[in-house]
Amino acid sequence: MLHSSSVGLRPAKQTIYITISFFLCCLLLMTAPASDAAIEKDMVGGTARIFLDLDSEFAGWVLDTSGGYTKAVVVDYYDGKSTVTRKRVGALAVEDLEITFGIDMAPVWWQWISNVLAGNPVTHNLSVIRTDLDFRTIDQQVLRNARIKQIHFPVFDRASKDPLRFKVVITAETSRFEAASGASAPSPLGRQISLKPNSSTFQFELGDLKTDRTVRVVPPVVSVKFPDGYVGGPGLQSTSTPTLGASNMTISVPIYDSGPYMNWLRELVDGRVGADSMLQSSLSILTPDYQQVLMTIFFDSVGLASLSPYQLAADGSMGPMVLDLYLERVRISTGK
């Protein structure tokens, strides 16, 4: 009877042991560091984090990056012995790197962009550093003698609550991957992230025209054309100077504010276009409460290229008039 009783207790003991073992395994899995496979899964899912290092100085966390890799330029040749065309690597080239970022970048980053807009597109060494979800660095892409060749500003729209997204296109002499130390990266929580500006919180000005009800502004794209063999950097000189150019910008204004704009168009039609018809313009990015200026974008020597006063929607409603504006220069100022 004693033997039968002890046998009857074994399943209960086994159940207890299995429950305890399962609990301990779960605890170990929860506290164990993420494996390389888990990190890679996070990165594939788009949850890895990326920050920039500019000449060994933290430049900020970015929203997205693409390109910037070294690729081989393969050429065909005939060796004179085989009837098959041979292939070889003719040269190495670095793809353009595109970086999308918000307004909360570090001052060193905005200083680089400001220098480019001022006609001083110096080169820097740039590192694109990836981290896991715990902000431990995984690897870094190092671009030597990197320079900005295009600057894209956000589209501003009163009807949109989209976050601000800037973009630059960067070219570099060399690009390579290097192992990272695994140390913790700087915290991504900055002062301006909590302010959360969006594309609807802006103030636009164009000369003395009525602009307080401007509904949409599409800023120009600034492009830098570098001469062949250009090398720039702190203390470096070049015999050729890069040239800057800005595309046209467009603004949308309510039709009931059309009077002054139609007068401006009349000057263009009558041929009365001169230096006095060029206007100064600016767009200030504001906090959601409209109490603080985070950045001001200045547009110098703005002229009217065209005006479309009648924007008829499908439902018969009258949309805003759209102005196509040309300009000579773009500048930025972070705060006032």
Contact status, residue 179 vs residue 141, Cβ threshold 8 Å? no
Phi, psi of 151 (to 5 degrees): -130, 125
**Interatomic CA distance for residues 207 and 289, integer angstroms:** 25
Nearest residue to 215 (alpha-carbon basis) of 174, 168, 186, 255? 255
Taking the chain, what is the end-to-end CA distance rounded to the nearest angstrom? 91
Give kind and range of the element (H or E) at residue 7: helix 2-31
Nearest residue to 156 (alpha-carbon basis) of 250, 258, 294, 292? 250
- 3-state helix vs strand vs coil in the chain, percent to 5: 20, 40, 35
* Predicted model pTM: 0.78
Question: CA 271 → CA 46, 226, 265, 266, distances in Å?
Answer: 54, 35, 10, 8
Torsion sign over Cα 327, 331, 335, 336 = negative
Per-residue pLDDT of the chain (336 residues; tens, 9 = 90+): 444 444 444 555 555 444 444 444 444 344 344 444 443 434 344 467 899 999 999 999 999 999 999 888 888 877 777 777 777 777 788 999 999 999 999 999 999 999 999 998 889 999 999 988 888 888 899 999 999 999 999 999 999 999 999 999 999 999 998 877 666 677 655 444 456 789 999 999 999 999 999 999 999 999 999 877 665 554 444 556 788 999 999 999 998 888 888 988 888 787 776 667 789 999 999 998 888 999 999 999 999 999 988 767 677 777 889 999 999 999 999 864
- Residue extents of the structural domains in the chain: 44-333
**Interatomic CA distance for residues 31 and 241, integer angstroms:** 57
